[in-house]
Chains A and B, each alone.
Chain A
Amino acid sequence: MLYIACPWCGPREEPEFVCGGATDPAERTGGTVYGRHGELWLHRYGCRRWFVLERDTARGTVHGARAVGDGEGGR
């Protein structure tokens, strides 16, 4: 169970969130980064805001959430 600190709501349990994929467009052509990278997450059953979560895909650890920066996370 991941505990994710929504930047607005604080730490909440994983089922409240949905992952929107990696923020780095290079991962779409080069594959998932092994190690730390940024992901877009939605606090679906909470404040319903999108934010960027830094996670380590090799260790499974979470390293902090922040608001989405300008020009970041475009699809």
Chain B
Amino acid sequence: MVTFSFLTLAREALRGHAGWPRQWRRAEPRRRYKVVIVGGGAHGLATAYYLAREHGITDVAVLEKGWLGGGNTARNTTIVRSNYLNPESIALYDHALDLWPGLARELNYNVMFSPRGLLTLALSPEDARQGVRRIHANRLAGVDAEWLTAREAHRRCPLLRIDHPRWPVEGAALQRRAGVARHDAVAWAYARAASALGVDVVEHCPGRAVRTANGRVTGVETARGVIDADAVALVTAGHTAALAATAGVGVPLEMRPLQAFVSEPVKPALDCVVMAPRLDVYVSQSDKGELVFGLPVDGYPSFVPQGSFGIIERAVTGALALFPALSRLRLLRIWGGTVDLTPDRSPIIGATPVAGLYLGCGWGTGGFKATPAAGRVLAHALATGAAHPLAEPFGLERFSTGTLIDERAAAAVAH
């Protein structure tokens, strides 16, 4: 890996950028590793990086069925925030938010993290009551959260219409440290850093089944042969349930399509993220100038990353009620993915009843923001065999014990 620096950039600029090596080694999978991570999205790659960086474990392979980060990592709406309701969730997502600002420097890669602030709008008196409750919950947990009046929200975000007759802005919660980051860059950054530390990043290698013997994991069966391992982590979002089932582990993941869309690029008009849970839409503007619209999940279970147009229409209606200035924008691109929802809308992190088999899944519509924390805590579990304190409440066993972390209503966007 050649470090990105002013000197190397200048040198390469003079050579027509002909000297840059591949960002990560195109590794051929070996027959055995200490740890195999199935799933080469941002979470899987981050896990591999922290295993190598923080625990010195480099005999690791990340297996990605397609192209790196081509699943939900490539498809999300890039929001980073930590304004959840339950203290366990706040702690986990806020740990990620603490890691985001230093990530580009640590990984020597521009992940374009922009803490531009998040406004969550209250569009009814009940929204305002819930919103005030949430900001107090955040502040009690030591996380930044402020309540703005409609006027203050408009001052912060002049594009916002606060006097819509049906959905007037009653107030807004502001998290200043929240923002956006470049999703692809995060995957590439972790892949490059992990690969440089010795991790094998293997693309086009679908995992087919987990191999076990005597209640312990022995490896993974892939499309390119069997790979033996002491520990296996399944970080495969929607495919986790099927893979875990091959080891006899049941994972309660409901699959739903999730769509998003962007407008044509325009000059900077919106310099913060705006969420309107009541209208089932949230909006931000990418550095490319496109307005990025986020939606709730579609209404029925599916592995097909395609949703219904009704959700798009509702989102556009809501977005235009909030931002009438956008009415003449053209939509450039609509896409979908599939998200894995848990019964309590909180992730599943850590060990399973099968020794050596770990899960990092169930992040639903909100995994991107947690990427650095998700990787760190799962790496901790893989390296030490014990749950990281931040991940402990999110174990698979909570669905038997009943200690759910209910974020269905609390996660600020319809999950």
Contact = CB atoms under 8 A, between A and B. Distances in A.
A60 B343 contact: no
B254 interface: yes
Nearest to B300: A19
B121 to A, nearest CB: 26
Q: Helix, strand, loop or mixed for chain A's interface?
A: mixed
Contacts of A1: 308-309
A25 to B, nearest CB: 11
Contacts of B302: 32, 57, 60
A31 B253 CA distance: 4
Interface in B328-366: 340, 343
Interface size class of B (residues with CB under 8 A): 20 to 34
A39 B252 contact: no
A28 interface: yes
A58 B309 contact: no
The interface centre, meaning the residue of A18, A19, A28, A31 with most chain B CB atoms within 10 A of its CB, is A31
Contact of A32 (B253, B309, B310, B343): B253
Interface size class of A (residues with CB under 8 A): 20 to 34
A32 B241 contact: yes
A30 interface: yes
A58 B304 contact: yes
Given A22-B301, A57-B302, A29 B252 contact: yes
A2 B308 contact: yes
A32 B306 contact: no
| 9 A-B pairs with the lowest CB-CB distances in the bound complex, closest first | A31-B241, A19-B300, A60-B304, A31-B253, A32-B255, A30-B250, A32-B301, A29-B250, A15-B310
Interface of B: 240-242, 245, 250-255, 299-304, 306, 308-310, 340, 343, 399
24 contacts: A1-B309, A2-B308, A15-B308, A18-B299, A19-B301, A28-B252, A30-B241, A30-B245, A30-B252, A31-B241, A31-B242, A31-B250, A31-B251, A31-B252, A31-B340, A32-B241, A32-B253, A32-B302, A32-B303, A34-B303, A57-B303, A57-B304, A58-B303, A58-B304
Interface of A: 1-2, 14-15, 18-19, 21-22, 27-32, 34, 37, 39, 55, 57-60
